[in-house]
Each structure stands twice: as structure tokens, then as C-alpha cells.
Amino acid sequence: MRDPSAGPRVLLRRLRELMAEPLEPQDRLDRIVRQIAQNMVAEVCSFYVLRADGVLELYATEGLNPGAVHLAQLKMGQGLVGTIAAGASSLNLSDAQSHPAFTYLPETGEEIYRSFLGVPILRAGRTLGVLVIQNKAMRNYREEELEALETIAMVLAEMIATGDLKKVTRPGLELDLSRPVTIDGSAYSDGIGLGHAVLHEPRIVVTELLNDDSDAELARLEDSIGSLRLSIDDMLSRRDMSMEGEHRAVLEAYRMFAHDRGWVRKLEEAIANGLTAEAAVEKVQSDMRARMIHMTDPYLRERLHDFDDLANRLLRQLTGFTAKAHHEDFPDSAIIVARAMGAADLLDYTRSKIRGLVLEEGSVTSHVVIVARAMGIAVVGQASGIASLTENGDPIIIDGDDGKVHLRPVADLERAYAEKVRFSARRQEQYRALRKVEPISRDGVNIALQMNAGLLVDLPQLKESGASGVGLFRTELQFMIASTMPKVDEQERFYRNVIRQAEGKPVTFRALDIGGDKVVPYFRAANEENPALGWRAMRLALDRPGILRMQLRALLRATAGQQLKLMFPMVTEISEFRQVRALLNKEVGHLSRFGYDLPRKVEVGAMLEVPSLMWQLDELMEEADFVSVGSNDLFQFTMAADRGNARVSSRFDPLGRTFLRVLRQIVVAADSWNTPLTLCGELAGRSLSAMALIGLGYRSISMSPAAIGPVKSMLLALDVKELEDLLLPALDENDPQYTIRKLLADFADTNGIPL
């Protein structure tokens, strides 16, 4: 009995030989369509390619009028070929001319052909073209013929993707794969980045498409699927995996897909048709994405993400891909493109080479954005679909001022942005000229402008920015980038180095704030339904006091003979603050008994991030040596708007009257107790919101180093008393037509204040 897969395998071997021959691109295409027609006993084989202008152009044909090549054209959705391309799905017709979408192109001479089989040429779910076979006789093509044509289409997709067709593309035209794309996102961190795209979770590039031994490939597939299933079962059986919740639901979906017999059968069929195991996974994944990508049902689209992730895991199993190898192959001007990522993932990259970050998800106050801003990296978020449109190495421009991403930009746009970068550099020079200028308003009010930091490489910016000190040093970043828990001696050396590099300027250390979305690789935290409200920061430290005591000991030793200024994050009850202060006193006593030198002065502060402290303000101001408002979390918890969820984080305005009243109440309490008060958060880093904070009575604010110049420029032109007289009464009004944001913008415009 004839093996039904023998024909496709022979054809694929012949195609591989044609790909390797030293032929001109058009000659190669002509031979390919001729070979397909002969092998599949078709009287016509035609190859259409999608151009950047949305037109499908005939690039090669066997059977139709050869004069129609590069002249016959159909728009997306026009005719049978356009319908296939628009829907990314195949058409198998016994009488093509009776189909309502049939369009007659007289230059092709196809009116004599009745049966029609067309498949989309897909790559990562994107349509790049259409492959068609036709016959005069009315017939339905068999399932194995459809499968064979889809497999051939995948080989042709790689041919398009590698740029082989540029030589036969008419001057002035571009293929869709190289089409410039502009995506409107949200501006998360100012700045312009020009460079080349680096996909954070790159699609595995399958270079070996055709197999020499189907049985060996089937065995490789079986082994890898077995390993994948075991890894999912292992994750589900772990003790720390809760029996309910989102994480488990996702893994259960993975397990369902991994054991789906239909999925596995499609993979096996693709291998039987001559593909390698990797190419089979890519083909089935691309087919599935093409079918599901236009679905609007959010549940089904989420399942598509699950399927994509599972297929990528299987590809990694098959290819032995490692993230380390990906990081080593890194361009000098990298724009990282990701659906979502954590702060620790960003810190894994070579920092000096990163020019920007583009995210499909996340919000302006998510931790990866905060870290990126501290690194001086432009960030655009909510860039829908960017990951699937991008290829590694694509030219890309990110505009962190306007929230735009330009993928594969045209030359004129690239030149315009290069000039914008030069202008921005000149503006930064102007800000640098203000470094030694005292931060005093026009009416003589001195405002301490401090910077946020978390790594040693941040500290040179203390001098460059002209900041008066470090208002927030995030000690957890040292823990997040380490592979094992830093020992006391390591921590001590690190903190001592921080103090030394600060060159006498004050540094406020924040005690370890891990848990939630701040993942430490060697510390296994519990999976929680809502980690932002769970076991993190102070709660974790009090339950595991050994970790905190190690850090306190290191800080005390590192600041011997100097001042230690230390604050504790996410204090919810005054009793928690008293407990950590008692732990600090124990460490002071311990070091004293063993003859260690101690700091000449220790100031202990609390971060006000949890709204419950608003009803304990008097006790807080009395107990703490100083208070620091963490505006990001305080806003999140006050408005019940998850800072990592863009659907709700942008719903409420932090410059709305509600939240500004909260911030003003804190100022009043601090003034009544003479307790030093500062604010460190995203509000401090924008000129307009920093102006609002000064109008509320804040006299010390801490921000990213890059924000100090613009904020100081605003301050030097500001009359604080005049602003207070306008802003404070407006807090008690309730005019929805005239928001505080508009009031501040109008005030700045009237008084010539640069924002």
C-alpha cells in the first residue's frame, strides 16, 4: 500500500535542494511552483506574496499566464486569494467560480480551472502570502493534500522572512513583513530610544525545517512532550502550589493542552509530511494562532496565550534554548520588547546597552517600570500586539514622551527622531547647568530634591543630577539580582560602598521589601490570590526575623561612626513599627557587647503606604523619627486600583481632589508634631505633580535622577505662597469641570513655569 506521506516528503526534499542551489530568486520561485504542481498533480500552482500596502501580488505561477507575474494583484479580502489571506484560513473548493468571493483576473487566464485549493502562508500567526493549486476538473482535494500544501507554505514563509524576495520586489514596494508599524501606547518613562529590538521571550528560530528520518523526529517529539508533561505535573504537585486560584488554573490549562490528543496528532502528521519536530510545533502553533487571533472573546484569547506559552516551552525542550545564550547575543543599542516582565528580569540584561523598554502590559507604577526609570530608560507600556509584530533585530524607535513605538521606521522618521535625541541632549545640558543651583523657589522656599536609587551604578548620578541626597535606597534590588542570599559581610561591604560613593550626602535606606511581585529566586514565597495585599515587606520580615536581623546588623556595621537613616516599608499598625524598632535595638546591643563601633546617630522612620495609618497619624508622628510617604502604594490602596493593572490603574487621577486631600492631611499631622516628612514616588518625578506636592506643603521629595533637572527648573520659577493660596482652597471645592490638574496647568501657563 502506498504511503500517503511519501509524496510530500519527496517534494520537501526537492524543495530543500532548490533552496540550496545557486539560483536567482525568480528562477528559484518558478522552479518551486513547477515542482509543487508536478508532485501534487495540479495543472496550476501560484504563489502570492503580501506587500506592505495590503496588496497580494502574484510572484510565481505554473499554469497561469506567465506574463501576469508581478502584475496580477488582489487586495486583502478581495477574491478567493484575498479571502484566504484576510481570514488566515484555507479554502478547498470543487467549483471555485461558483464561490461568492471569486474574482476574475483576465490577465491570468484562470477561467478554465474549476477546482481550487489555497492555503495561507503563515509565520507566527501572521499572513505573509497565499499558495494555490488548481485543476480543470471539478474535485475536492483530499485532507492529506491540504496538509501537504500547508507544510510547503511553511517552508515558503521562511523564504519570505529571510528576505530572499527583495531582489524580485519592484522598486518602491516593500513586503508586509518589513512594513513600518506605529503603535500608540502609554508613556511610562520619558526619553527617546533608537536601536534594535530584543524580544524578552524570543520566538525560537527554527532553522532545520525538513527531516531526514521521520521516525527519529517522532521519537524526539515524544520524549520532549513527556518531559513537558512531567514538568507541569511537578509544578502542580508542589507543596506551595495552592489548591485553588489563578496560578493553578493556568497550569491546569497547560496540562489539558499538553495531554490533548488532537494537538499531538497534528504534530505527528506534520512530522510524517517531512517536517522536523521543531518545525512541526511551529506550524501547528502558527495555524492555531491564525485561527484564534481574530476572536474577540477574552476567555478564548487568554487560552491562546496559554497555548502559545506551552508551544514555546515545547520548542525550548526540543532546541535546548537557554535565556543565558539569548542574553549573550545582545546588540549595543537594545530596545527590549516584552508582553510583561519583572524587575529582576530587566536587571539580568547588560544595562549599558539598553536604550528602551516596550511592554504590552503593566502600568506606570509597576516595579519593572520604576526600575527602568531609575536606570534612565525610556518606557512605553500598553503597546498592544508589539511582541507578535516584532522580529529580533528589527529597527525600532521608542518615544517615552508621547507613548509611541515605531517598528521598522522609514528613513525620514528615523532622521527626525535622531534630531529629537540631539535636542533632548541639549536640554539635559541645560539641566546639568542647574546642578549647583540651590533648589529655592522664587519666593525663597527651600525644597530638598533627593533621588531614588537601588544599585551602586545609580550613585554617580547623585553628583551629576545635583540631588541633595538619596531619599530612597531600595535595598531589595541587591537581593533580587543575587543567586543566593547575600551574607552579612557581603551586605556590609555593599552598604559601606553606598555610603562612600554618596560622598557625605545623606542616604535613607529602606529595609528589605520583598514578596508580592518582588521575586527573590532563592526565597520561595507562598502563591497568593492578591500578592500586593499579602505576605510581603514588613509582614514577611516579622515572620522571618532572621533575614531582617542580618540586614540590620550589616547596616549598623557599615555606618559605624556615621549616621544611619533607615525606614521600614508597608507599616500597617504602629505595633509593627515598635516590633522592628525593638529588633534594631537588640542588634545595637548585640554589636555593642562584641565591641563593634556603632553609628553616631540612628534615625528610624516609617513608610506611609497603607491607608490604615491615616487613622494612626498622631501615634505615627510621635513614634517615628521621620516619615516617608510611598505615594505609589498609598494611591493603589486608597483607590483600590492595582498598580500593575492598566485597566484600573489609569482609572483614577493621583492629582484628583480625593488623593490630594489624603496627602495634605499627612502634611498637617507632620507639621503639628514637627516630624520630618518626605515623599518618594512617581508623583515627585513629574514637574506638574511635584508642583502640586509643594503646594500641599511637602518640602522634601525624592525621585528618579533624570527628573531632578526638570523639577528644579520648575521650582526656580515658582512662587510657593501664590500656589498655596490657589491650591489649598480648591481642595475643598467639588467642581468636576475644573479639575486640580487643569488648575495647576493653567497656573503654570499663566506664570511662565516650565513643565
- Write out the residue range of the structural domain in which residue 369 sits: 181-204+325-425
CATH of the domain at 464: 3.20.20.60
Q: Which tens digits make up the pLDDT trace of 459-515?
A: 888 888 899 999 999 988 777 666 678 899 999 999 999 999 999 999 999 998 876
Decide if 490 is inside a domain: yes
> For cell 529566586, what's the residue?
521
- Do 540 and 678 sit in the same domain of this protein? yes
Residue 136 backbone dihedrals phi, psi, to 5 degrees: -70, -40
Cβ-based neighbour number of residue 192 at 10 Å: 21
pLDDT at site 380: 92
Say how many Å lie between the first and final Cα of the chain, rounded.
79
Query: HSE (CB half, 13 Å, CA atoms) of 309?
Result: 14
pLDDT band at 124 (very low <50, low <70, confident <90, very high): low
Q: What integer best gives the mean pLDDT of the chain?
A: 84
**What CATH number does residue 36 fall under?**
3.30.450.40
Q: Max alpha carbon distance in the chain (Å)?
A: 100
Domain count, the chain: 4
Residue 755 lies in a domain: no
Convert 247-265 to b/e letters by CB count within 10 Å (16 or more is b). Answer: eeeebebbbebbeeeebbe
- Same domain, yes or no, for 137 and 189? no
SS3 517: coil
Same domain flag for 642 and 629: yes
Claim to verify: residue 283 and residue 374 sit in the same structural domain: no
Mark whether 624 and 494 lie in a shared domain.
yes
Residue whose C-alpha cell is 499598625: 573
Neighbour tally for 215: CB within 10 Å: 10
Q: Quote the cell numbers at residue 441.
A: 523657589
Residues 46 and 188 in one domain: no
The angle subtended at Cα 735 by Cα 729 and Cα 738, nearest 5°, is 90
In a domain, 610, yes or no: yes
Indicate the burial class of 243 (C-beta count within 10 angstroms; 0-12, 13-18, 19 or more): exposed
Assess whether pLDDT exceeds 70 at residue 283: yes
Indicate the range of 128-142, 195-209, 262-276 predicted with least confidence.
195-209
Domain finish residue from 298, 320, 342:
320
Amino acid identity, position 544: R
Percent of the chain at pLDDT exceeding 70: 86
Shared domain for 548 and 624, answered yes or no, is yes
Q: Could you give phi then psi for residue 504, rounded to 5 degrees?
A: 90, -15
58-81: average pLDDT: 92
Confidence of residue 325 (pLDDT cuts 50, 70, 90): very low
Which candidate, 507, 502, 454, 500, places its Cα nearest to that of 480? 454
Domain assignment of residue 531, yes or no: yes
* pLDDT score for 621: 97
Q: What is the distance, to the nearest Å, from the Cα of residue 146 to the centroid of all Cα atoms in its chain?
A: 38
Burial class (CB in 10 A: 0-12, 13-18, 19+), 232: buried
- pLDDT bucket at 303, cuts 50 / 70 / 90: low
Cell of residue 183, nine digits:
503603535
CATH code for the domain of 356:
3.50.30.10
Same domain, 446 and 547: yes
H/E run at residue 221? helix 214-237
Q: How confident is the model at residue 744 (pLDDT cuts 50, 70, 90)?
A: very high
- Dist CA 12 CA 226 (whole Å): 28
635 assigned to some structural domain: yes
| Weakest mean pLDDT among 205-209, 216-220, 222-226, 264-268 | 205-209
In a domain, 694, yes or no: yes
Tell which of 366, 400, 425 closes a domain: 425
Q: How would you label 449-467 residue by residue, b for 16+ Cβ within 10 Å and e otherwise?
A: bbbbbbbeebbebbebbbb
pLDDT band for position 288 (cuts 50, 70, 90): confident
Bridge partners, residue 507, by sequence? 470
Each residue's pLDDT tens digit, 338-351? 887 776 677 778 77
209 within a domain of the structure (yes/no): no
Cell of 195: 536601536
| Grid cell listed for 23 | 539560483
Helix (H) / strand (E) element for 568: namely strand 563-568
Q: What is the pLDDT of residue 754?
A: 92
Strand ranges (E), 35-163: 44-50, 55-62, 73-75, 91-93, 115-123, 126-135
The DSSP output letter for 487 is P
Between 145 and 45, the more confident residue is 45
Are 335 and 313 part of one and the same domain?
no
Residue with the bigger pLDDT between 5 and 33: it is: 33
pLDDT band at 254; cut points 50, 70, 90: low
**pLDDT confidence of residue 242:** 43
Does 458 fall in a domain?
Answer: yes
User: Shortest CA distance to 666 belongs to which of 632, 618, 700?
Assistant: 618
Contacts of 57 (CB under 8 A, 6+ apart): 48, 49, 51, 70, 72, 73
Q: What is the arithmetic mean of pLDDT over 660-676?
A: 97
* Residue 153 and residue 284 in one domain: no
pLDDT category, 241, cuts 50, 70, 90?
Answer: very low
Residue length of the chain: 755
Do 685 and 559 lie in one domain? The reply is yes
What pLDDT sits at residue 294?
Answer: 57
Rounded distance, CA 683 to CA 724, Å?
Answer: 18
Domain limit, last residue, from 290, 320, 350:
320
CA pair distance 254, 228, nearest whole angstrom: 10
Query: Does residue 330 sit in the same domain as residue 279?
Result: no
